[in-house]
Amino acid sequence: MRDINHFIGGESFTGASGRFSDVFNPNTGEVQARVQLATDSEMDRAIQSSQVAFESWSQVNPQRRARVMFEYKRLIEANMQELAEMLSAEHGKVVADSKGDIQRGLEVVEFACGIPHVLKGEYTWGAGPGIDVYSMRQPLGVVAGITPFNFPAMIPMWMFGMAIAVGNTFILKPSERDPSVPVRLAELMMEAGAPAGVLNVVHGDKSAVDAILTHPQVHAVSFVGSSDIANYVYQLGAANGKRVQAMGGAKNHGIVLPDADLDQVVKDLSGAAFGSAGERCMALPVVVPVGKKTADELRERMVAEMATLQVGVSTDAAAHYGPVVTAAHKARVEGWIDQGVKEGAELVVDGRGFTLQGHENGFFVGPSLFDKVTPDMESYKEEIFGPVLQIVRAASFEEALELPSKHQYGNGVAIFTQNGRAARDFAARVNVGMVGINVPIPVPVAYHSFGGWKRSAFGDTNQYGMEGLKFWTKVKTVTARWPDSDLEHVDSSFVIPTMA
């Protein structure tokens, strides 16, 4: 049995807790490895390693840090196939999707390569008589990221790409369900030229999370996961004086107006709802057709499209999606399908009990489609996080707009239409953080930023882009006066200074 170790101080580190978590092969249901779970002592060791590294790394000039990021980008690209296969073997998503996972993280690393430019401060010459004012952004120190199973490459790189580039050192606590890729990412960071301790990986469960949130030498924490845990992370981290951004769950809606190109909509919905077995916080699990004619036609086309979907093992290049991550998650998804039936929604396509010949013990769930879902149903209110698409019919544009706006989650939303005025109005009024117009998965590009509203995000700052720069740095402002000569003096003043 292969053991997956921590990565501390630039090398593999064997913990002493004696506690392990099983890592499954989702395609077969078999345990393929064990990952160590850290003690507080091991977390402290990693934090001390990062603290030592911070003293020198924070003093490296931005251009040299950027060179490390450029080399890191090159190494990720050179090892793309290896990383994708490793990711698929533990997560279950197909290899092509794993490459997309890595690439979207790499785009933030690309943005971080330009850190010398974005770190430039502000300067005002002559703000007052002989007075100049300037500001600078400085790193926080040791910072941390707690990342989910569904994007074991992308989300860690979203976090540490910016955090390390600005001069921080980073503790990564990845999901224990698919931990191998995060360790490999840290190894490649060392190979790229980052000093030992700049990026440490510590595996663990709730005790490791709590150790991060309460340790006095950790200054900021970024989290992605379920909303209840995101709220817990935010509250405990903030109570311990840390800067926290905690991204939670989602229930993204796709609004389909009567003038939409339904051929394209069906293709978009198929990929957005069922890609990666629906295990995406930016999946599109709810579609809201406006008007009965639109709803009936969309349902008919969706059923036909779903019949063409191929569910297969993660290494099958012809498969559209693979298994979910664990047996427990499969049971959870199928439990939500049961709940939808009990609540009176019409189960049009049933993905429960799906098996793949030769892989009967794999964690596969077939594509499922509900119609006539209503906002009072728990299966609509909560995140299913599986290959399940729900149709919620709306009689008007206003009713369709109200559904995502009033939902407890506000991560992403999409509208499908050829009417520019309607799209513009929708984008301005909808109470959701990220909007797609004829774009089913509106994850912003790396030089913008990612973040939802309501119970989809806790904290005031989004991830990556310039928002990431703000989150991982603190601003220092200097007001300097240089007298014309040694003989020039200014009388004492007992009032607040002004530049008048």
Residues labelled as active-site residues: 281
Determine the Cα–Cα distance for residues 494 and 484; give it in Å rounded to an integer: 23
User: How would you write the chain as a 3-class SS string?
Assistant: CEEECEEECCEEECCCCCCEEEEEECCCCEEEEEEECCCHHHHHHHHHHHHHHHHHHCCCCHHHHHHHHHHHHHHHHHCHHHHHHHHHHHHCCCHHHHHHHHHHHHHHHHHHCCHHHHCCCCEEEEEECCEEEEEEEEECCEEEEECCCCCCCHHHHHHHHHHHHCCCEEEEECCCCCCHHHHHHHHHHHHCCCCCCCEEECCCCHHHHHHHHHCCCEEEEEEECCHHHHHHHHHHHHHCCCEEEEECCCCCEEEECCCCCHHHHHHHHHHHHHHHHHCCCCCCCEEEEECHHHHHHHHHHHHHHHCCCCECCCCCCCCCECCCCCHHHHHHHHHHHHHHHHCCCEEEECCCCCCECCECCCCCCCCEEEECCCCCCHHHHCCCCCCEEEECCECCHHHHHHHHHHCCEECEEEEECCCHHHHHHHHHHCCCCEEEECCCCCCCCCCCCECCEECCEECCCCECHHHHHHHCEEEEEEEEECCCCCCCCCCCCCCCCCCC
Cα separations in angstroms, 151 against 60, 174, 319, 340: 30, 10, 19, 27
Judging by DSSP bridges, how do beta strands 20-25 and 30-36 pair with one another? antiparallel
Q: Minimal CA–CA distance to 109: which of 147, 146, 139, 154?
A: 154
Q: Minimal CA–CA distance to 199: which of 160, 242, 166, 165?
A: 160
Residue located via tokens 């990720």: 76
- Residue 273: what residue type? A
Judging by DSSP bridges, how do beta strands 388-391 and 368-371 pair with one another? parallel
Residue located via tokens 């630039």: 10
Determine the Cα–Cα distance for residues 240 and 245; give it in Å rounded to an integer: 14
